[in-house]
Structure 1
Protein backbone atom coordinates (compact mmCIF):
# COMPACT_ATOMS: atom_id res chain seq x y z
CA UNK A 1 0.00 0.00 0.00
CA UNK A 2 1.56 3.26 -1.15
CA UNK A 3 0.65 6.15 1.15
CA UNK A 4 3.14 8.75 0.04
CA UNK A 5 2.81 11.54 -2.45
CA UNK A 6 5.59 12.89 -4.63
CA UNK A 7 6.72 15.42 -2.05
CA UNK A 8 7.15 14.97 1.71
CA UNK A 9 4.65 16.88 3.82
CA UNK A 10 5.96 18.70 6.91
CA UNK A 11 4.31 20.84 9.55
CA UNK A 12 6.04 23.53 11.58
CA UNK A 13 5.40 21.65 14.82
CA UNK A 14 6.93 18.36 13.66
CA UNK A 15 10.00 18.55 15.92
CA UNK A 16 11.98 15.31 15.94
CA UNK A 17 14.14 14.35 18.91
CA UNK A 18 16.90 12.19 17.46
CA UNK A 19 18.29 9.77 20.05
CA UNK A 20 21.62 8.21 19.13
CA UNK A 21 23.30 5.58 21.31
CA UNK A 22 27.08 5.47 21.40
CA UNK A 23 29.55 3.11 23.00
CA UNK A 24 33.25 3.33 22.14
CA UNK A 25 32.73 4.20 18.47
CA UNK A 26 34.27 7.64 18.11
CA UNK A 27 34.73 7.59 14.35
CA UNK A 28 31.33 6.04 13.70
CA UNK A 29 29.40 8.47 15.89
CA UNK A 30 31.07 11.44 14.18
CA UNK A 31 30.08 10.04 10.77
CA UNK A 32 26.56 9.47 12.05
CA UNK A 33 26.24 13.04 13.31
CA UNK A 34 27.69 14.42 10.10
CA UNK A 35 24.98 12.65 8.09
CA UNK A 36 22.27 13.92 10.45
CA UNK A 37 23.30 17.54 10.02
CA UNK A 38 23.24 17.16 6.23
CA UNK A 39 19.56 16.17 6.22
CA UNK A 40 17.03 18.33 4.39
CA UNK A 41 14.69 18.16 7.39
CA UNK A 42 15.20 21.17 9.62
CA UNK A 43 13.06 20.58 12.70
CA UNK A 44 15.18 18.35 14.93
CA UNK A 45 17.33 18.21 18.04
CA UNK A 46 20.01 15.57 18.58
CA UNK A 47 20.46 13.72 21.86
CA UNK A 48 23.55 11.52 22.06
CA UNK A 49 23.38 9.02 24.90
CA UNK A 50 26.89 7.81 25.60
CA UNK A 51 26.79 4.40 27.25
CA UNK A 52 29.96 4.57 29.33
CA UNK A 53 32.50 4.95 26.52
CA UNK A 54 36.15 4.63 27.48
CA UNK A 55 37.55 6.01 24.22
CA UNK A 56 37.56 9.68 23.19
CA UNK A 57 33.96 9.67 21.93
CA UNK A 58 32.62 12.20 24.42
CA UNK A 59 35.52 14.59 23.95
CA UNK A 60 35.22 14.38 20.16
CA UNK A 61 31.47 15.00 20.20
CA UNK A 62 31.82 18.03 22.47
CA UNK A 63 34.54 19.44 20.23
CA UNK A 64 32.91 18.78 16.84
CA UNK A 65 29.22 19.18 17.75
CA UNK A 66 28.90 21.44 20.81
CA UNK A 67 25.18 22.04 20.24
CA UNK A 68 24.27 18.37 20.54
CA UNK A 69 22.51 17.35 23.76
CA UNK A 70 25.00 14.94 25.31
CA UNK A 71 23.99 12.56 28.09
CA UNK A 72 26.89 10.72 29.68
CA UNK A 73 26.15 7.42 31.42
CA UNK A 74 28.85 6.15 33.74
CA UNK A 75 28.24 2.56 32.64
CA UNK A 76 26.76 0.77 29.64
CA UNK A 77 23.01 0.65 30.31
CA UNK A 78 22.25 -1.46 27.25
CA UNK A 79 20.08 -0.57 24.28
CA UNK A 80 16.73 -0.32 26.08
CA UNK A 81 18.25 1.39 29.11
CA UNK A 82 20.21 3.88 27.04
CA UNK A 83 17.28 4.75 24.82
CA UNK A 84 15.02 5.21 27.83
CA UNK A 85 17.52 7.70 29.25
CA UNK A 86 17.26 9.57 25.95
CA UNK A 87 13.45 9.49 26.02
CA UNK A 88 13.36 10.84 29.58
CA UNK A 89 15.79 13.61 28.62
CA UNK A 90 13.62 14.54 25.64
CA UNK A 91 10.49 14.55 27.80
CA UNK A 92 12.10 16.93 30.27
CA UNK A 93 13.81 19.28 27.82
CA UNK A 94 12.13 19.24 24.40
CA UNK A 95 8.65 19.74 22.97
CA UNK A 96 8.93 17.01 20.36
CA UNK A 97 6.37 15.23 18.22
CA UNK A 98 8.52 12.31 17.10
CA UNK A 99 11.50 10.30 18.32
CA UNK A 100 14.06 8.95 15.86
CA UNK A 101 16.19 6.10 17.21
CA UNK A 102 19.62 5.56 15.66
CA UNK A 103 22.79 3.70 16.58
CA UNK A 104 26.30 5.09 16.41
CA UNK A 105 27.24 3.05 13.32
CA UNK A 106 24.34 4.39 11.24
CA UNK A 107 24.39 7.07 8.58
CA UNK A 108 21.13 8.49 7.28
CA UNK A 109 20.22 9.62 3.78
CA UNK A 110 19.62 13.32 3.27
CA UNK A 111 15.87 12.96 2.64
CA UNK A 112 15.13 9.95 4.89
CA UNK A 113 13.68 11.84 7.84
CA UNK A 114 11.49 14.02 5.63
CA UNK A 115 10.10 10.90 4.00
CA UNK A 116 9.37 9.18 7.30
CA UNK A 117 7.62 12.21 8.81
CA UNK A 118 5.54 12.44 5.64
CA UNK A 119 4.21 8.94 6.30
CA UNK A 120 2.82 10.01 9.67
CA UNK A 121 0.99 12.90 8.10
CA UNK A 122 -0.59 10.57 5.54
CA UNK A 123 -2.23 8.19 8.03
CA UNK A 124 -3.29 8.96 11.60
CA UNK A 125 -3.10 5.33 12.77
CA UNK A 126 0.64 5.04 12.16
CA UNK A 127 2.76 4.96 15.31
CA UNK A 128 6.10 3.79 13.91
CA UNK A 129 7.75 4.41 10.53
CA UNK A 130 10.76 2.43 9.38
CA UNK A 131 13.27 2.94 6.53
CA UNK A 132 15.04 0.66 4.11
CA UNK A 133 18.33 -0.23 5.79
CA UNK A 134 21.36 -1.00 3.63
CA UNK A 135 24.62 -2.66 4.66
CA UNK A 136 27.29 0.03 4.56
CA UNK A 137 30.13 -2.40 3.93
CA UNK A 138 28.32 -4.34 1.19
CA UNK A 139 27.06 -1.78 -1.34
CA UNK A 140 23.60 -2.43 -2.74
CA UNK A 141 22.78 -5.17 -0.23
CA UNK A 142 19.86 -4.87 2.18
CA UNK A 143 20.20 -5.20 5.93
CA UNK A 144 16.45 -5.15 6.29
CA UNK A 145 13.54 -3.71 4.34
CA UNK A 146 11.63 -1.94 7.07
CA UNK A 147 11.98 -4.33 9.93
CA UNK A 148 11.22 -7.81 11.17
CA UNK A 149 8.93 -10.63 10.18
CA UNK A 150 7.47 -12.15 13.38
CA UNK A 151 5.59 -15.45 13.62
CA UNK A 152 4.70 -16.41 17.19
CA UNK A 153 3.29 -19.77 16.06
CA UNK A 154 6.66 -20.95 14.73
CA UNK A 155 8.93 -18.69 16.76
CA UNK A 156 10.57 -17.40 13.58
CA UNK A 157 11.77 -13.81 13.76
CA UNK A 158 13.85 -12.57 10.85
CA UNK A 159 14.99 -9.39 9.13
CA UNK A 160 12.92 -8.76 6.01
CA UNK A 161 15.16 -8.94 2.93
CA UNK A 162 18.38 -9.46 4.90
CA UNK A 163 21.39 -10.11 2.68
CA UNK A 164 19.51 -9.68 -0.59
CA UNK A 165 20.76 -7.45 -3.38
CA UNK A 166 18.48 -4.46 -3.81
CA UNK A 167 16.83 -4.87 -7.21
CA UNK A 168 13.68 -2.94 -6.44
CA UNK A 169 11.83 -5.96 -5.03
CA UNK A 170 11.23 -4.08 -1.77
CA UNK A 171 10.24 -0.78 -3.37
CA UNK A 172 6.69 -0.87 -2.08
CA UNK A 173 5.80 0.98 1.09
CA UNK A 174 3.46 -1.04 3.29
CA UNK A 175 2.37 -1.95 6.79
CA UNK A 176 4.59 -4.51 8.54
CA UNK A 177 4.59 -6.53 11.78
CA UNK A 178 7.63 -5.13 13.55
CA UNK A 179 10.17 -2.37 13.17
CA UNK A 180 13.88 -2.84 13.41
CA UNK A 181 15.95 -0.85 15.87
CA UNK A 182 16.16 2.14 13.54
CA UNK A 183 12.77 3.80 13.46
CA UNK A 184 10.75 6.98 13.83
CA UNK A 185 8.21 6.75 16.67
CA UNK A 186 5.40 9.15 17.53
CA UNK A 187 5.37 10.77 20.94
CA UNK A 188 1.74 9.69 21.27
CA UNK A 189 2.80 6.05 21.01
CA UNK A 190 5.37 6.42 23.77
CA UNK A 191 2.80 8.13 25.98
CA UNK A 192 0.29 5.32 25.39
CA UNK A 193 2.47 2.20 25.11
CA UNK A 194 5.37 3.20 27.34
CA UNK A 195 9.13 3.18 26.94
CA UNK A 196 11.42 0.23 26.16
CA UNK A 197 11.30 -2.80 28.44
CA UNK A 198 14.68 -2.87 30.17
CA UNK A 199 14.38 -6.59 30.86
CA UNK A 200 15.68 -6.88 27.29
CA UNK A 201 19.03 -5.37 28.31
CA UNK A 202 21.77 -5.38 27.30
CA UNK A 203 20.50 -6.01 23.76
CA UNK A 204 18.16 -8.09 21.69
CA UNK A 205 14.47 -7.92 20.69
CA UNK A 206 13.57 -4.73 22.58
CA UNK A 207 12.47 -3.21 19.25
CA UNK A 208 10.21 -6.18 18.45
CA UNK A 209 8.68 -5.98 21.92
CA UNK A 210 7.85 -2.30 21.49
CA UNK A 211 6.30 -3.04 18.08
CA UNK A 212 4.11 -5.84 19.41
CA UNK A 213 2.96 -3.71 22.33
CA UNK A 214 2.17 -0.87 19.92
CA UNK A 215 0.14 -3.14 17.64
CA UNK A 216 -1.81 -4.43 20.64
CA UNK A 217 -2.79 -0.81 21.34
CA UNK A 218 -4.02 -0.29 17.77
CA UNK A 219 -0.98 1.48 16.30
CA UNK A 220 0.29 0.59 12.82
CA UNK A 221 3.90 0.16 11.71
CA UNK A 222 4.69 1.52 8.26
CA UNK A 223 7.68 0.76 6.05
CA UNK A 224 8.65 3.68 3.80
CA UNK A 225 10.93 2.35 1.08
CA UNK A 226 11.93 5.85 0.01
CA UNK A 227 13.73 6.47 3.31
CA UNK A 228 17.25 5.02 3.33
CA UNK A 229 19.77 4.46 6.11
CA UNK A 230 23.11 2.68 6.09
CA UNK A 231 24.27 0.36 8.86
CA UNK A 232 27.81 -0.87 9.38
CA UNK A 233 26.79 -3.49 11.91
CA UNK A 234 29.15 -5.84 13.70
CA UNK A 235 30.93 -8.96 12.59
CA UNK A 236 30.48 -12.18 14.51
CA UNK A 237 33.32 -12.29 17.00
CA UNK A 238 34.74 -14.74 19.49
CA UNK A 239 35.57 -14.89 23.17
CA UNK A 240 33.75 -13.12 25.97
CA UNK A 241 32.01 -10.57 23.76
CA UNK A 242 30.27 -13.14 21.56
CA UNK A 243 29.24 -15.33 24.49
CA UNK A 244 27.68 -12.32 26.24
CA UNK A 245 25.91 -11.43 23.00
CA UNK A 246 24.55 -14.96 22.53
CA UNK A 247 23.48 -15.15 26.18
CA UNK A 248 21.52 -11.91 25.88
CA UNK A 249 19.92 -12.76 22.53
CA UNK A 250 18.88 -16.21 23.72
CA UNK A 251 17.51 -14.99 27.05
CA UNK A 252 15.62 -12.15 25.43
CA UNK A 253 14.22 -14.28 22.62
CA UNK A 254 12.53 -16.64 25.05
CA UNK A 255 11.43 -13.73 27.24
CA UNK A 256 9.81 -12.15 24.16
CA UNK A 257 7.99 -15.40 23.34
CA UNK A 258 6.83 -15.85 26.92
CA UNK A 259 5.63 -12.24 27.08
CA UNK A 260 3.65 -12.10 23.83
CA UNK A 261 2.58 -15.60 22.73
CA UNK A 262 -0.99 -16.64 23.51
CA UNK A 263 -1.99 -20.12 24.69
CA UNK A 264 -2.52 -21.45 21.16
CA UNK A 265 0.84 -20.12 19.99
CA UNK A 266 2.55 -21.60 23.05
CA UNK A 267 1.06 -25.01 22.29
CA UNK A 268 2.45 -24.87 18.75
CA UNK A 269 5.78 -23.56 19.98
CA UNK A 270 6.09 -26.45 22.44
CA UNK A 271 6.42 -28.72 19.41
CA UNK A 272 8.42 -26.39 17.16
CA UNK A 273 11.02 -24.93 19.53
CA UNK A 274 12.73 -28.22 20.54
CA UNK A 275 13.43 -28.85 16.85
CA UNK A 276 14.61 -25.26 16.42
CA UNK A 277 16.97 -25.56 19.39
CA UNK A 278 18.35 -28.87 18.08
CA UNK A 279 19.09 -27.30 14.69
CA UNK A 280 20.88 -24.39 16.36
CA UNK A 281 22.97 -26.77 18.46
CA UNK A 282 23.92 -28.78 15.37
CA UNK A 283 24.89 -25.64 13.48
CA UNK A 284 27.08 -24.34 16.29
CA UNK A 285 28.70 -27.75 16.84
CA UNK A 286 29.68 -27.89 13.18
CA UNK A 287 31.25 -24.47 13.58
CA UNK A 288 33.03 -25.51 16.76
CA UNK A 289 31.27 -22.79 18.76
CA UNK A 290 31.00 -24.69 22.05
CA UNK A 291 31.04 -21.53 24.19
CA UNK A 292 28.22 -20.13 22.08
CA UNK A 293 26.04 -23.16 22.81
CA UNK A 294 26.76 -22.82 26.52
CA UNK A 295 25.88 -19.12 26.45
CA UNK A 296 22.61 -19.78 24.64
CA UNK A 297 21.55 -22.43 27.14
CA UNK A 298 22.47 -20.17 30.05
CA UNK A 299 20.23 -17.55 28.49
CA UNK A 300 17.32 -19.98 28.36
CA UNK A 301 17.88 -21.29 31.88
CA UNK A 302 18.06 -17.76 33.30
CA UNK A 303 14.33 -17.41 32.58
CA UNK A 304 13.34 -20.57 34.41
CA UNK A 305 12.34 -19.45 37.88
Structure 2
Protein backbone atom coordinates (compact mmCIF):
# COMPACT_ATOMS: atom_id res chain seq x y z
CA UNK A 1 0.00 0.00 0.00
CA UNK A 2 3.04 2.29 0.23
CA UNK A 3 3.26 2.71 -3.54
CA UNK A 4 -0.35 3.15 -4.57
CA UNK A 5 -0.62 4.80 -8.00
CA UNK A 6 -2.99 7.73 -7.47
CA UNK A 7 -2.32 9.76 -10.61
CA UNK A 8 -5.62 10.79 -12.23
CA UNK A 9 -7.57 9.68 -9.16
CA UNK A 10 -9.55 12.01 -6.90
CA UNK A 11 -11.42 11.35 -3.66
CA UNK A 12 -15.04 12.21 -4.39
CA UNK A 13 -17.27 10.85 -1.63
CA UNK A 14 -17.17 10.04 2.09
CA UNK A 15 -19.18 7.14 3.48
CA UNK A 16 -19.41 5.04 6.62
CA UNK A 17 -19.27 1.25 6.59
CA UNK A 18 -19.34 -0.90 9.72
CA UNK A 19 -18.67 2.21 11.78
CA UNK A 20 -15.56 3.13 9.77
CA UNK A 21 -15.19 6.28 7.66
CA UNK A 22 -14.28 5.45 4.09
CA UNK A 23 -13.27 7.43 1.03
CA UNK A 24 -14.53 6.59 -2.46
CA UNK A 25 -12.20 7.35 -5.37
CA UNK A 26 -12.87 8.29 -8.97
CA UNK A 27 -10.61 8.17 -12.01
CA UNK A 28 -10.85 11.44 -13.93
CA UNK A 29 -10.04 9.80 -17.31
CA UNK A 30 -8.38 13.05 -18.38
CA UNK A 31 -11.61 15.03 -17.91
CA UNK A 32 -11.30 18.80 -17.65
CA UNK A 33 -13.35 20.30 -14.83
CA UNK A 34 -15.55 22.77 -16.74
CA UNK A 35 -19.14 21.97 -15.74
CA UNK A 36 -21.16 24.64 -13.85
CA UNK A 37 -21.33 22.30 -10.82
CA UNK A 38 -18.86 19.60 -9.87
CA UNK A 39 -21.52 16.95 -9.31
CA UNK A 40 -22.05 17.08 -13.09
CA UNK A 41 -18.34 16.36 -13.57
CA UNK A 42 -18.63 13.41 -11.19
CA UNK A 43 -21.52 11.93 -13.18
CA UNK A 44 -19.51 12.06 -16.40
CA UNK A 45 -16.42 10.55 -14.78
CA UNK A 46 -18.47 7.81 -13.11
CA UNK A 47 -20.03 6.91 -16.43
CA UNK A 48 -16.55 6.47 -17.91
CA UNK A 49 -15.37 4.56 -14.83
CA UNK A 50 -18.24 2.11 -15.19
CA UNK A 51 -16.96 1.25 -18.66
CA UNK A 52 -13.33 0.74 -17.61
CA UNK A 53 -13.44 -0.48 -14.00
CA UNK A 54 -15.38 -3.47 -12.70
CA UNK A 55 -15.12 -2.58 -9.01
CA UNK A 56 -15.45 0.61 -6.96
CA UNK A 57 -12.26 2.05 -5.48
CA UNK A 58 -12.54 2.58 -1.72
CA UNK A 59 -9.96 3.29 0.97
CA UNK A 60 -9.83 4.06 4.67
CA UNK A 61 -10.32 7.80 5.14
CA UNK A 62 -6.93 8.33 6.79
CA UNK A 63 -5.19 7.17 3.60
CA UNK A 64 -6.50 10.30 1.88
CA UNK A 65 -4.10 12.37 3.97
CA UNK A 66 -1.27 9.83 3.82
CA UNK A 67 -1.23 9.54 0.03
CA UNK A 68 -1.41 13.33 -0.39
CA UNK A 69 1.88 13.76 1.47
CA UNK A 70 3.95 13.90 -1.70
CA UNK A 71 1.61 16.19 -3.62
CA UNK A 72 2.34 19.86 -4.15
CA UNK A 73 0.80 22.34 -1.73
CA UNK A 74 -1.79 24.60 -3.35
CA UNK A 75 -2.88 28.11 -2.42
CA UNK A 76 -6.11 29.15 -4.21
CA UNK A 77 -6.26 32.44 -6.09
CA UNK A 78 -9.53 33.12 -4.26
CA UNK A 79 -12.49 31.56 -2.51
CA UNK A 80 -15.86 32.55 -3.94
CA UNK A 81 -18.68 32.63 -1.39
CA UNK A 82 -22.30 33.42 -2.23
CA UNK A 83 -25.80 33.48 -0.75
CA UNK A 84 -27.07 31.40 -3.71
CA UNK A 85 -28.72 32.48 -6.97
CA UNK A 86 -26.59 35.63 -7.03
CA UNK A 87 -24.33 35.21 -10.05
CA UNK A 88 -21.62 32.99 -8.60
CA UNK A 89 -22.15 30.26 -11.19
CA UNK A 90 -21.86 32.74 -14.05
CA UNK A 91 -18.74 34.28 -12.50
CA UNK A 92 -17.27 30.78 -12.28
CA UNK A 93 -18.14 30.05 -15.89
CA UNK A 94 -16.61 33.33 -17.05
CA UNK A 95 -13.40 32.62 -15.15
CA UNK A 96 -13.31 29.17 -16.75
CA UNK A 97 -13.20 30.69 -20.24
CA UNK A 98 -9.57 31.61 -19.52
CA UNK A 99 -7.16 28.70 -19.96
CA UNK A 100 -5.04 29.89 -17.04
CA UNK A 101 -7.95 29.51 -14.62
CA UNK A 102 -9.59 26.50 -13.06
CA UNK A 103 -12.73 26.79 -10.96
CA UNK A 104 -13.76 24.01 -8.60
CA UNK A 105 -17.45 24.71 -8.24
CA UNK A 106 -19.27 23.37 -5.18
CA UNK A 107 -17.23 20.16 -4.93
CA UNK A 108 -19.28 17.60 -2.93
CA UNK A 109 -16.15 16.09 -1.34
CA UNK A 110 -15.16 19.44 0.18
CA UNK A 111 -18.65 19.72 1.64
CA UNK A 112 -18.45 16.15 2.97
CA UNK A 113 -15.26 17.05 4.83
CA UNK A 114 -16.45 20.35 6.29
CA UNK A 115 -19.70 18.85 7.56
CA UNK A 116 -18.14 15.58 8.73
CA UNK A 117 -18.06 16.61 12.43
CA UNK A 118 -21.86 16.82 12.41
CA UNK A 119 -21.97 13.12 11.53
CA UNK A 120 -18.77 12.02 13.29
CA UNK A 121 -18.27 14.29 16.34
CA UNK A 122 -14.98 12.61 17.29
CA UNK A 123 -13.15 14.31 14.42
CA UNK A 124 -11.10 17.30 15.59
CA UNK A 125 -10.79 20.55 13.67
CA UNK A 126 -7.11 19.75 13.03
CA UNK A 127 -8.07 16.42 11.43
CA UNK A 128 -10.74 18.10 9.30
CA UNK A 129 -8.24 20.74 8.19
CA UNK A 130 -5.71 18.06 7.18
CA UNK A 131 -8.38 16.27 5.16
CA UNK A 132 -9.46 19.48 3.46
CA UNK A 133 -5.96 20.63 2.54
CA UNK A 134 -5.20 17.13 1.22
CA UNK A 135 -8.37 17.19 -0.88
CA UNK A 136 -7.38 20.53 -2.39
CA UNK A 137 -4.04 18.96 -3.39
CA UNK A 138 -5.68 16.11 -5.31
CA UNK A 139 -8.08 18.38 -7.15
CA UNK A 140 -5.49 21.05 -7.94
CA UNK A 141 -3.14 18.40 -9.34
CA UNK A 142 -5.83 17.14 -11.70
CA UNK A 143 -6.74 20.63 -12.89
CA UNK A 144 -3.10 21.40 -13.74
CA UNK A 145 -2.90 18.50 -16.17
CA UNK A 146 -0.08 16.05 -16.71
CA UNK A 147 2.23 18.56 -18.39
CA UNK A 148 1.88 22.32 -18.15
CA UNK A 149 4.23 25.24 -18.65
CA UNK A 150 1.71 27.72 -17.33
CA UNK A 151 0.73 28.30 -13.74
CA UNK A 152 -2.93 27.56 -13.13
CA UNK A 153 -4.93 29.98 -10.99
CA UNK A 154 -7.28 27.94 -8.85
CA UNK A 155 -10.61 29.39 -7.73
CA UNK A 156 -12.73 27.51 -5.23
CA UNK A 157 -16.43 28.30 -5.38
CA UNK A 158 -17.92 27.18 -2.08
CA UNK A 159 -21.43 26.01 -1.33
CA UNK A 160 -23.50 28.87 0.06
CA UNK A 161 -23.53 27.48 3.62
CA UNK A 162 -19.74 27.27 3.67
CA UNK A 163 -19.67 30.91 4.72
CA UNK A 164 -20.31 29.55 8.22
CA UNK A 165 -16.94 27.79 8.02
CA UNK A 166 -15.34 31.19 7.43
CA UNK A 167 -13.15 31.17 10.56
CA UNK A 168 -11.80 27.71 9.79
CA UNK A 169 -11.01 28.55 6.16
CA UNK A 170 -9.53 31.94 6.99
CA UNK A 171 -7.14 30.39 9.52
CA UNK A 172 -6.02 27.94 6.84
CA UNK A 173 -5.59 30.62 4.16
CA UNK A 174 -5.01 33.99 5.87
CA UNK A 175 -3.83 35.82 2.75
CA UNK A 176 -6.22 34.43 0.15
CA UNK A 177 -8.92 36.80 -1.18
CA UNK A 178 -12.43 35.91 -0.02
CA UNK A 179 -15.08 37.12 -2.48
CA UNK A 180 -18.58 37.51 -1.06
CA UNK A 181 -21.36 37.62 -3.65
CA UNK A 182 -24.90 38.56 -2.70
CA UNK A 183 -28.23 39.70 -4.12
CA UNK A 184 -31.52 41.16 -2.99
CA UNK A 185 -32.97 38.48 -0.69
CA UNK A 186 -36.45 38.78 -2.20
CA UNK A 187 -35.00 37.81 -5.59
CA UNK A 188 -33.07 34.89 -4.08
CA UNK A 189 -36.20 33.85 -2.19
CA UNK A 190 -38.29 33.86 -5.36
CA UNK A 191 -35.73 31.71 -7.19
CA UNK A 192 -35.65 29.11 -4.41
CA UNK A 193 -39.45 29.10 -4.22
CA UNK A 194 -39.47 27.84 -7.80
CA UNK A 195 -36.52 25.46 -7.53
CA UNK A 196 -35.38 24.91 -3.92
CA UNK A 197 -31.72 24.41 -3.16
CA UNK A 198 -30.52 22.18 -0.33
CA UNK A 199 -30.34 25.07 2.12
CA UNK A 200 -33.96 25.99 1.37
CA UNK A 201 -35.29 22.63 2.60
CA UNK A 202 -35.67 22.55 6.41
CA UNK A 203 -33.20 20.12 7.94
CA UNK A 204 -31.41 19.06 4.75
CA UNK A 205 -28.36 21.05 5.87
CA UNK A 206 -27.71 20.87 9.61
CA UNK A 207 -29.86 23.71 11.06
CA UNK A 208 -27.30 24.48 13.77
CA UNK A 209 -24.91 25.54 11.03
CA UNK A 210 -27.21 28.51 10.39
CA UNK A 211 -27.45 29.19 14.11
CA UNK A 212 -30.94 27.69 14.46
CA UNK A 213 -32.15 25.79 17.51
CA UNK A 214 -34.19 22.61 16.85
CA UNK A 215 -37.39 24.24 18.10
CA UNK A 216 -36.86 27.17 15.72
CA UNK A 217 -36.87 25.07 12.57
CA UNK A 218 -40.62 24.58 12.25
CA UNK A 219 -42.29 23.25 9.13
CA UNK A 220 -42.90 26.43 7.11
CA UNK A 221 -40.29 26.31 4.35
CA UNK A 222 -40.85 29.96 3.39
CA UNK A 223 -40.07 31.24 6.87
CA UNK A 224 -37.15 28.82 7.13
CA UNK A 225 -35.64 30.11 3.87
CA UNK A 226 -36.12 33.72 4.98
CA UNK A 227 -34.24 32.91 8.19
CA UNK A 228 -31.44 31.23 6.23
CA UNK A 229 -31.02 34.34 4.08
CA UNK A 230 -31.00 36.49 7.20
CA UNK A 231 -28.23 34.31 8.66
CA UNK A 232 -26.18 34.64 5.47
CA UNK A 233 -26.41 38.42 5.46
CA UNK A 234 -25.62 38.67 9.17
CA UNK A 235 -22.48 36.61 8.60
CA UNK A 236 -21.49 38.74 5.61
CA UNK A 237 -21.78 41.90 7.70
CA UNK A 238 -19.66 40.35 10.44
CA UNK A 239 -16.93 39.37 7.98
CA UNK A 240 -16.97 42.65 6.07
CA UNK A 241 -16.47 44.55 9.32
CA UNK A 242 -13.34 42.64 10.27
CA UNK A 243 -11.62 41.17 7.20
CA UNK A 244 -9.61 43.41 4.87
CA UNK A 245 -9.04 40.49 2.48
CA UNK A 246 -12.73 40.15 1.64
CA UNK A 247 -14.63 41.90 -1.14
CA UNK A 248 -18.38 42.40 -1.39
CA UNK A 249 -19.99 42.12 -4.83
CA UNK A 250 -23.67 42.71 -5.55
CA UNK A 251 -25.42 40.80 -8.31
CA UNK A 252 -26.85 44.07 -9.60
CA UNK A 253 -23.39 45.23 -10.68
CA UNK A 254 -23.76 43.02 -13.76
CA UNK A 255 -21.61 40.09 -14.91
CA UNK A 256 -18.80 41.99 -16.60
CA UNK A 257 -18.29 44.43 -13.75
CA UNK A 258 -18.40 41.50 -11.33
CA UNK A 259 -15.74 39.55 -13.23
CA UNK A 260 -13.47 42.59 -13.54
CA UNK A 261 -13.63 43.18 -9.79
CA UNK A 262 -12.97 39.49 -9.07
CA UNK A 263 -9.95 39.53 -11.38
CA UNK A 264 -8.53 42.71 -9.87
CA UNK A 265 -8.99 41.53 -6.29
CA UNK A 266 -7.50 38.11 -7.14
CA UNK A 267 -4.56 39.70 -8.95
CA UNK A 268 -5.17 38.01 -12.30
CA UNK A 269 -4.99 39.71 -15.70
CA UNK A 270 -7.76 39.43 -18.28
CA UNK A 271 -6.74 40.10 -21.88
CA UNK A 272 -8.94 42.04 -24.30
CA UNK A 273 -9.63 38.81 -26.19
CA UNK A 274 -10.65 37.02 -22.99
CA UNK A 275 -12.95 39.91 -22.05
CA UNK A 276 -14.65 39.65 -25.43
CA UNK A 277 -15.27 35.93 -24.93
CA UNK A 278 -16.62 36.61 -21.45
CA UNK A 279 -18.93 39.29 -22.77
CA UNK A 280 -20.40 36.81 -25.25
CA UNK A 281 -20.77 34.10 -22.59
CA UNK A 282 -22.38 36.50 -20.10
CA UNK A 283 -25.54 36.74 -22.21
CA UNK A 284 -26.32 33.06 -21.66
CA UNK A 285 -27.81 31.23 -18.69
CA UNK A 286 -25.12 30.35 -16.13
CA UNK A 287 -26.42 26.84 -15.41
CA UNK A 288 -27.62 26.17 -18.97
CA UNK A 289 -24.91 27.62 -21.24
CA UNK A 290 -26.98 27.06 -24.40
CA UNK A 291 -29.88 29.22 -23.22
CA UNK A 292 -30.08 33.02 -23.27
CA UNK A 293 -30.56 34.56 -19.83
CA UNK A 294 -33.95 36.13 -19.09
CA UNK A 295 -34.42 38.38 -16.08
CA UNK A 296 -37.37 37.54 -13.84
CA UNK A 297 -40.15 40.03 -13.22
CA UNK A 298 -40.30 41.73 -9.81
CA UNK A 299 -42.97 40.74 -7.29
CA UNK A 300 -44.18 41.83 -3.87
CA UNK A 301 -41.79 41.23 -0.95
CA UNK A 302 -43.09 38.68 1.62
CA UNK A 303 -43.44 40.02 5.17
CA UNK A 304 -41.08 37.40 6.62
CA UNK A 305 -38.24 38.82 4.49
CA UNK A 306 -38.32 42.16 6.31
CA UNK A 307 -35.24 41.44 8.45
CA UNK A 308 -33.27 40.05 5.52
CA UNK A 309 -34.09 43.10 3.40
CA UNK A 310 -32.99 45.41 6.21
CA UNK A 311 -29.63 43.62 6.45
CA UNK A 312 -29.26 43.66 2.67
CA UNK A 313 -29.49 47.45 2.54
CA UNK A 314 -26.97 47.79 5.38
CA UNK A 315 -24.60 45.41 3.59
CA UNK A 316 -24.97 47.21 0.28
CA UNK A 317 -24.18 50.52 1.94
CA UNK A 318 -21.05 48.89 3.33
CA UNK A 319 -20.11 47.63 -0.15
CA UNK A 320 -20.44 51.06 -1.72
CA UNK A 321 -18.32 52.57 1.05
CA UNK A 322 -15.59 50.02 0.26
CA UNK A 323 -15.46 50.84 -3.47
The normalised TM-score by structure 2 is: 0.28
Give the structure with the larger strand fraction.
Answer: 1
The normalised TM-score by structure 1 is: 0.29
Give the structure with the larger helix fraction.
Answer: 2
